[in-house]
Structure 1
Amino acid sequence: MVFLSHTSRQRTEEELGPKEHKAQGIRKQYLRRVLEHLEVLLNQAGFSVWWDRKDLHPGDPIDPTIYRALNQCRAAVVLIDVDALDAGYMRREVNILTFRHVEHDLHVVPVLLQVEAEQVRDSALGRETGIDVQLALHTTKKQNQQASRETAERIAQHLVAESEAWQRDIRSPANKWIDDVTLCLEKATTNALRRAVETLGLDVAAWERSPEQRWEIAAALWSADRDVVYDVIEDVAHQLPVGLREKIVEHAVPLWADLQAARTVRAVAVEGAGAGGAVGLATRFLRLGDLLARRASAGSRRVYVAKLSDVHGESTIQDLVCQSEATLRRLMNFPVETPPDEVTAELRRRPGQHLYAVLRSDTVNPATTTAVTRELQNKFPGIVMILLDHTGSAAWKAASVRPAFDDFTPERERAARKFVSDMSDLSGSKKIEVDRDE
């Protein structure tokens, strides 16, 4: 499905004055023609199209319906005219699309309709969404019937040419997470769900009209603050059967890491595809490193997270590499006798499958950590190392290591450990002690 983002808002003549009101009418007529031509061309090419004029019907809950389409589309066209530059609702749409573009490689095509790139950059749309940094399609200055057809044809040609890439199943890990949590909420009472809506700060009236109420709550949980997540899960968990309670806690525990930290890890994985990368986390708690990787991947089954043996000062670099290699081979089901070149070749054939390794290295010098990381990245192409060390470590000064948090203070670490421990207590299974290393 291709999502068409645009603004059809029209201001009155009193707001704009006669001359600008007439110009606006011409712009909107041109935009409608582009949309109509584009829908026909994309349908002829075999693609489905979503845009509000066609797919929103009387009685539909507007926000949930559009939000679902934004999260399910596989490509999006953002049609930017003068009216779009300060359109608040369109900024909300484009924020979701640019997030999916960064996190999950969603194919987003900005199209400039009689506006310049500089105007987008200096506008509220550009400042708040980051759409201005993406390569845009520029169109003719004309706004007649022929020009609208040519613009639609150019957009369609681009999407068809790039379709092999964007038609792949890019169903995001975040969407899978939301769907899984939605299933966990099936046994929660309506009153508990309504309390969750209020805690999450959602519009209760709009939520009550939504045909997918549990999905709306799960989607809000994905991006909520940690304390809000805990309050919702604590209220809901005791109503769920043991299996679902354990499942929803398992999904929620990685949310101790905020979205920005998860994005950093995800960006290192995407940017380093085939070459690997390293992320630093100022803690010695392996579980926090493990959960950070799981938040970055939303628990995707195509992601492996290995907790490697600690790097100790008395071990040689080769010893450390061999121990770590054995752990990674077991995790990925490679027999010990598989030659290294076969392991490398197999991993290079799995471009969408990320491999994270959490390595605690606070007892050795940074040079040893760097050497071990480099050797593992050579043996396991694309591996992302999450390096755990103390706050003042010189390892964080290496250009090759990106900090997951700008400032992961001892206070934030304590809060994270307490969240993980408290959350595990809700599941009814064995509690994770707050001060336990693992």
Structure 2
Amino acid sequence: MLQLGRTPVTAYSLRQGLPNQRNAERSPRPGGLGMVFLSHTSRRHTLEELGAEEFEAQGIRKDYLAEVLRKLEELLRDAGFSIWWDRRDLRPGDAIDPTIYKALNACRAAVVLIDADALNAAYMRREVNILTFRHVEHGLHVVPVLLQVSAEQVRDSAMGRETGIDIQLALHAPNGRSEQAARETAELIARHLVAESATWAQDIYSPENMWIDDVALCLQHASSSALRRAAETLDLDLPAWERSADPAWDIAAALWSAERDLVHEVVEDVAHQLTREFQERIVTHALPLWAHLRAARTVRAASTEVSGTGRAVSLATRRLWLGELLAKRASAGNRRARVIRLVDVHGESTIQDLVGRSDATLRRELNFPVETPPEEVTAALRQRPGQQLYAVLRSETVNPATTLAVTRELQNRFPGIVLIVLNHSSSAAWTAPSITPALDPFPPEEERAARRFVSEMSELPGGKKIEVDSEE
């Protein structure tokens, strides 16, 4: 029995699953109720950087944060959790220890401690991007905690814009930065985690872990010098990486959240050392990385919405293969996911004709006979929970009302399918609340960069190069 404040809390006994053995061996500090990742920034700026007044205020904030972390670790360990948090003072641009990537992909829950310094901490945004993707992708329990910052500040910050953490329900710390306030904050968080732990997903071996394993398998066939160059390119902590029992896995985990230019540099360097089979495999896994994690998370989130609502997302491009690759990133390379390319919505046809052509394509791809009534198709798809189905639809030559009508009818007939609707960026269809932007904004220069990445990556294994301006 753990006494948190005045509320007694009993630690739950969870029935543990059996994760993949390789993944289990990597999991830092395994514990009874699972590992909790604590994301925060303890970095202190100097007096010269801040000035006397702000330097003093920062000291109060960081002393308070340190006390919250110390007390929270004590409470959670007493409750039966294992804890992971980085005690180093990372600076902007510092290398991230490869063990952080292991912890991010193995934790059963995460606490994101957001104070004024965290709002623009670059390395913390990388952590939170992975955590929020895992939250959507397979139910990782992520708890944002606001430490004397408002929800509006988070929303308007770099962290809010890039990770989407602002849309999750947050715990608000008690006012004040005294030792007592820190203790109350730690108790609030611990009480919440203990109460929610019985609902956590049991399987930590998620599709993104499978993606990392697949890429690591390819990287294992590269030379040690090439792997070291990759670790340097990805700015990993080299001493920690050199001590790793699985250096290829560390690099693959870092690739999952790296900028696409770095991804291309790493893959280009190692590809020529691999057999054709592994060249093709690593390129296939890397191609979807043109889209950052928040865009993929938006698409993945659509598949968790109630049938018929929120299952359409927009992408401001006419390149069908960009839409398909975005879906593949959203599914984290899940082998059970299906991505279906629909015929273009164009011309002077009626809405009924346009829906009919897409209906025929989906029926054929999903093995429904033509004569099956729409209501039977709908009923059958409702009985396939958890299956990831994506359809890419281009609709740039019809008016917005037609786009919305076709989209709505396909959502009703094929519940569970996420529609990725392609159109030009100025289309009025994107203002409709029934379509969520997957990349907002997605300016022309960003699209050109994405197309260039896919084009250059596609020719690495000696296969057919996708030209930058190709429709294919």
The normalised TM-score by structure 2 is: 0.71
Instruction: Give, in whole Å, the separation in 2 of the partners of 1:191 and 1:229.
Output: 17
Instruction: Give, in whole Å, the separation in 2 of the partners of 1:204 and 1:140.
Output: 40
Which of 294, 313, 319 aligns to 2:353? It is 319
Q: Specify the alignment match of 1:50 in structure 2.
A: 83
Q: How does 1:19-418 map to 2 (within 5 A)?
A: 32=70, 34-41=72-79, 43=80, 48-51=81-84, 63-77=97-111, 86=117, 92=123, 96-97=127-128, 99-101=130-132, 104-105=135-136, 106-110=140-144, 116=148, 118=150, 129-130=159-160, 134-136=169-171, 158-169=192-203, 171-271=205-305, 275-336=309-370, 338-418=372-452
1:276 and 1:381 in contact (8 A); partners too: no
Range that drifts further, 378-387 or 259-268: 259-268
Instruction: Give, in whole Å, the separation in 1 of the partners of 2:347 and 2:105.
Output: 47
Change (3 A) 1:193 1:332: same
1:70 and 1:93 in contact (8 A); partners too: no
What SS is found at the alignment partner of 2:335? coil
2:342 and 2:391 in contact (8 A); partners too: yes
1:6 and 1:90 in contact (8 A); partners too: no
Change (3 A) 1:322 1:170: farther
What SS is found at the alignment partner of 2:236? coil
Range that drifts further, 331-340 or 352-361: 331-340
Instruction: Give, in whole Å, the separation in 2 of the partners of 1:53 and 1:388.
Output: 42
Q: Which whole-Å deviations, capped at 9, do the CAs of 1:13-64 have from their partners, x for residues lacking one?
A: xx9xxxxx999999977864553343232x3xxxx5234599xxxxxx9922
What SS is found at the alignment partner of 2:143? strand
Instruction: Give, in whole Å, the separation in 1 of the partners of 2:441 and 2:64.
Output: 51
Q: Specify the alignment match of 2:3 in structure 1.
A: none
Instruction: Give, in whole Å, the separation in 2 of the partners of 1:86 and 1:164.
Output: 32
What SS is found at the alignment partner of 1:162? helix
1:95 and 1:128 in contact (8 A); partners too: no
What SS is found at the alignment partner of 2:420? strand
Change (3 A) 1:89 1:317: closer
Q: Which whole-Å deviations, capped at 9, do the CAs of 1:187-228 have from their partners, x for residues lacking one?
A: 000111122223333343332233321122212222233232
Change (3 A) 1:431 1:31: closer
**How many percent of aligned residue pairs carry the same amino acid?**
58
2:106 and 2:204 in contact (8 A); partners too: no
What SS is found at the alignment partner of 1:236? helix
Greater percentage in helix = 1
Range that drifts further, 158-167 or 309-318: 158-167
1:279 and 1:401 in contact (8 A); partners too: yes
Measure how far apart 1:333 and its partner are.
Answer: 3.9
Change (3 A) 1:400 1:155: closer
Instruction: Give, in whole Å, the separation in 2 of the partners of 1:31 and 1:202.
Output: 25
What SS is found at the alignment partner of 2:421? strand
AA of the residue aligned to 1:319: D
The normalised TM-score by structure 1 is: 0.76
AA of the residue aligned to 1:96: E
* RMSD over equivalenced CA pairs, Å: 4.3
- Work out which of the two has the higher radius of gyration on C-alpha atoms and give 1 or 2: 1
Change (3 A) 1:303 1:30: closer
Measure how far apart 1:283 and its partner are.
Answer: 2.7
1:358 and 1:388 in contact (8 A); partners too: yes
Q: Which whole-Å deviations, capped at 9, do the CAs of 1:121-153 have from their partners, x for residues lacking one?
A: 769x99564567632165799978xx97x9888
Measure how far apart 1:95 and its partner are.
Answer: 5.7
Unaligned runs of 5+ in 2: 1-33, 45-51, 53-58, 88-94
What SS is found at the alignment partner of 1:386? strand
Measure how far apart 1:87 and its partner are.
Answer: 7.7
What SS is found at the alignment partner of 2:97? helix
Change (3 A) 1:235 1:65: closer
Q: How does 1:12-23 map to 2 (within 5 A)?
A: none
Instruction: Give, in whole Å, the separation in 2 of the partners of 1:281 and 1:52.
Output: 37
AA of the residue aligned to 1:39: R
Measure how far apart 1:410 and its partner are.
Answer: 4.4
Aligned residues: 415
